[in-house]
Amino acid sequence: MKKRLTGLSTTHIILLSFLIAILVGAVLLSLPISSATGEAVPFIDALFTATTSTCVTGLVVVPTVSSWSVFGQIVILLLIQIGGLGVITIMSAFMIVLHKKMGIGDRLLLQDAFNLNSLSGLVRFVKKVVAGTLFIEAVGALLYMTVFVPQFGCKGIWISVFTAVSAFCNAGIDIIAQNSLCDYAFHPVINLVTALLIILGGIGYIVWWDVIRLCKLATKKKVRPFRDLTLHSKIAVSATLLLIFVGGLLIFVFEYQNPQTMKDYTLLQKIQASLFQSVTTRTAGFATLPQENLSNASAIVCLLLMFIGGSPVGTAGGIKTVTFAVLVASALASIRHRGDTELFGRIIPKQAVGKALAVTCMSFIIVFLSTVALSAVTQGDALDIVYETVSATATVGLTRNLTASLDNVGKGIIIATMYLGRVGPISLAVAFNKKKQHQNMIRNPIEEISVG
């Protein structure tokens, strides 16, 4: 990996940029002007809030709606936007606006930030990402205003903008109420707009441009909507739809007779609540059902959905849908004694399979270590602790009422978990790998082992 003049690799710079954004945000949030009461909040709470905002997670130790002033909420919103797009993307966008030439080092940073395989067309890619993000967030805010302005007056404009950015960036932080969106569990506009923003942000920018490409081609010639998508888009779209509907179906079944959640709902309300829960577990963090009231079966389903997360090159976290699909396809190929991993009639490169395995293993290690650490300092239910650590690792933001009860040590563990989950397990593996690239050319002897 090429080095910049600073002597840091591109991956190190990405890790450092997120850390700097968090620390700057923490300092701003620790100022009295950021507090709703005018008294500075404890620095650990400011640091926790800055981390959950920049890492677009959504876990909070103090209620966002009542703890922060307008200035504090603006800081949080900016951190969410920076975290959703990425610090490097924001910096690159400013360079483009100021007509500054982007060198090879800047392009390498962007390539690593978006986890892309090529350096070509990066400037155009950044322009489209920023423009597309602002457009979708603006549309979402306008739709929210139809509900929040009549309810809150002029304040509803700010609430709409904040919620739209938070939903698109999959942050799950809101300034509406302390119980997230539970008061709007059956509101069709809030449910639909929020779900669409979550999905659009989490599906990934690559899928956006692929769909737009097909729409342009459709005006010139006949296209096959799904078959003409790239392999990446096919996997991302298929996995997203499968996880949403299968997850929603399982939650519907497990919560159907749960008196603490959906027993008294109508059939339509149960379907709506189940689908929203399935969507929001894909790293969004908004809640229309109290998570602590979910049955154990539903909570376990949500753990899997959270761990998988959204799709690559988007605002979502988790190991990603494409990673999960590649792992399943690879396992099936091994079971069938096939040498190649295939999806939709295409062979998946072995490098992609190896990377998918590395991402999953690193994520599992982070979850395991944080779960053990949090269990050692927290007297809580085991399921609640695992729910918390998976939510933090996958940058989801859903909690079974554990976050607010954490002591300073517990908060520190979750802060570290959110940071590690956001910057990406594979980036950490590369950043702390001391081996030089030429050392990988040396191959050791091959010897057979027994597996399984």
pLDDT tens per residue across span 376-406? 999 889 999 999 999 999 999 999 999 989 9
pLDDT winner (highest mean) among 79-88, 96-105, 128-137: 128-137
pLDDT range class, residue 2, cuts 50, 70, 90 = very low
Phi, psi for residue 309 in degrees, rounded to 5: 75, -150
Q: Is residue 51 predicted with pLDDT exceeding 90?
A: yes
DSSP for residue 348: E
DSSP one-letter string for 178-237: TTTTGGGTT-HHHHHHHHHHHHHHHH-HHHHHHHHHHHHHHTTS---TTTTS-HHHHHHH
Backbone angles phi, psi at 68, to 5 degrees: -120, 145
Predicted local confidence at residue 35, as pLDDT: 95
* Residue 407 domain flag: yes
C-alpha–C-alpha distance, residues 104 and 196, integer Å: 36
Is the model more confident about 348 or about 435? Answer: 348
C-alpha torsion 54→60→65→68, nearest 10: -60
Asked whether residue 106 is domain-assigned, the answer is: yes
Residue 286 lies in a domain: yes
> Higher-confidence residue: 445 or 293?
293
Instruction: Report if residue 318 sits inside a domain.
Output: yes
Angle, helices 10-29/70-85, rounded to nearest 10 degrees: 170
Contact 171, 397 (CB under 8 A): yes
Tokens coding 293? 């009231």
Name the 3-class secondary structure at 341: strand
Span of 60-69, 142-151, 422-431 with lowest mean pLDDT? 422-431
Structural domain span for residue 82:
10-429
Is 75 contained in some domain?
yes
Structural domain contains residue 436: no
**φ, ψ dihedrals at 416, nearest 5°:** -65, -40
Mean pLDDT of the chain: 86
The pLDDT of 217-240, averaged and rounded, is: 85
In a domain, 423, yes or no: yes
Residues of 161-180 as b/e, b for ≥16 C-beta within 10 angstroms?
Answer: bbbbbbbbbbbbbbbbeeeb
- Report the domain count for the chain: 1
Phi, psi of 342 (to 5 degrees): -125, 145
Is residue 410 in a domain?
yes
pLDDT for 172-203, tens place per residue? 899 998 888 999 999 999 999 999 999 999 99
